[in-house]
């Protein structure tokens, strides 16, 4: 006989969720009433208090298909912070009432733009002490991207010179702090208006990408974290010392100067972020030690999701945008 699922009696059978049934602009996103999911074996049901909004979301919305091929209709969103409502058979790491955050199922649909999500228990970690749900909901995808790029992929160590593009952005502002926590000398690009903020986050050197060309002003870099791509790849390669590493969080396509990288003796890799409970715990430790903070630029109710996407697509935000399916107390 299957092990029973521990579901509180006050959990409703339906929920609000953002639905998309066609590709297009932000106005294709609508809030609907739909069936609440049930956790399967090894999964937990989480009541979502906050869901981060990421570039992957609006790119998927525009294409009308997930990167893994999942077609319309679907619900966007990967970042989750919330409270465990019930657990499926075999789950021992969480109990109802636990507060968790995570980036479940990526790159497969997680459906975080909703009041409830289900996902494997080990795609989550305990919510960091000192953060509310809104802050924690902004963290997982961006922080795990920065951590896995700098720590797991590039193995940044003390004394190295690290160049981080878009240092005030969602990934960038966290990457600056993670690189600094690893003991690196951090160079970051940002508009001049954001230099004071990025310097306060730990950057040792700031480059105004609007007026300065990194290819002529930055040298002897050990690691580059590139979230921009295109012409930035070529300019970034010219900053790296021989034996250095360029980590792109955008796929290396035909526009990437592979021959130039080979001639320069530079390692160039594309890194795709993965669900990672241990990484989340490492990130939590930095937060609880006061060495990492997340900046939330704007918060929107679920019904304002189209406004959140419009803002995100401007490319001018500082830090993260967050939806609140269930308002944080």
pTM of the predicted model over 0.85: yes
Integer Cα distance of 28 and 46 in angstroms: 26
Closest CA to 208 of 187, 219, 222, 192: 192
**Ordered per-residue pLDDT tens for the chain, 329 residues:** 334 344 454 689 999 999 999 999 999 999 999 999 999 999 999 999 999 999 999 999 999 999 999 999 999 999 999 999 999 999 999 999 999 999 999 999 999 999 999 999 999 999 999 999 999 999 999 999 999 999 999 999 999 999 999 999 999 999 999 999 999 999 999 999 999 999 999 999 999 999 999 999 999 999 999 999 999 999 999 999 999 999 999 999 999 999 999 999 999 999 999 999 999 999 999 999 999 999 999 999 999 999 999 999 998 899 999 999 986 55
Sequence-ordered list of residues with C-beta below 8 angstroms from that of 253, at least 6 positions apart, any chain? none
Neighbours of 287 (CB within 10 A): 20
pLDDT value at position 11?
A: 83
pLDDT value at position 50?
A: 98
The first and second tokens of residue 277, run together, are: 């409970």
Q: What is the DSSP letter of 65?
A: B
pLDDT value at position 119?
A: 98
Q: Kindly tell me the burial class for residue 213, based on how many C-beta atoms sit within 10 Å of its own C-beta (0-12, 13-18, 19 or more).
A: exposed
Q: What is the CA radius of gyration of the chain?
A: 20
Domains annotated on the chain, with CATH: 14-139+294-324 (3.90.180.10), 142-270 (3.40.50.720)
Helices H, strands E: what count in the chain? 10, 15
């Amino acid at each position: 006989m299957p092990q029973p699922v521990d579901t509180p009696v006050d959990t409703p059978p339906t929920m609000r969720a953002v639905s998309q049934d066609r590709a297009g602009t932000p106005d294709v996103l609508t809030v609907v009433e739909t069936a609440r999911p049930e956790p399967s074996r090894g999964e937990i049901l989480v009541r979502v208090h906050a869901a981060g909004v990421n570039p992957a979301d609006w790119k998927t919305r525009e294409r009308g298909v997930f990167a893994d091929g999942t077609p319309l209709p679907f619900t966007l969103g990967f970042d989750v912070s919330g409270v465990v409502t019930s657990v499926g058979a075999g789950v021992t790491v969480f109990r109802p009432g636990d507060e968790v955050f995570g980036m479940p199922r990526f790159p497969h649909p997680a459906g975080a733009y909703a009041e409830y999500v289900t996902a494997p228990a080990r795609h989550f970690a305990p919510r960091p002490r000192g953060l509310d749900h809104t802050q924690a909901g902004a963290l997982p995808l961006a922080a795990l991207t920065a951590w896995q790029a700098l720590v797991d992929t590039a193995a940044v160590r003390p004394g190295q010179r690290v160049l981080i593009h878009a240092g005030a952005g969602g990934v960038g502002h966290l990457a600056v702090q993670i690189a600094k926590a690893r003991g690196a000398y951090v160079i970051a690009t940002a508009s001049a208006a954001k230099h004071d903020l990025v310097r306060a986050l730990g950057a040792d050197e700031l480059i105004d990408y609007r007026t300065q060309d990194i290819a002529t002003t930055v040298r002897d870099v050990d690691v580059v974290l590139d979230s921009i791509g295109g012409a930035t790849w070529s300019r970034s390669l010219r900053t790296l010392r021989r034996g250095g590493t360029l980590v792109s969080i955008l796929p290396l396509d035909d526009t990437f100067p592979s021959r130039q990288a080979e001639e320069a003796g530079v390692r160039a890799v594309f890194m795709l972020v993965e669900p990672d409970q241990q990484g989340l715990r490492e990130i939590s430790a930095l937060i609880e030690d006061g060495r990492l903070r997340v900046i939330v630029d704007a918060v929107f109710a679920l019904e304002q999701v189209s406004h959140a996407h419009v803002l995100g697509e401007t490319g001018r935000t500082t830090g993260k945008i967050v939806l609140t399916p269930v308002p944080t107390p």
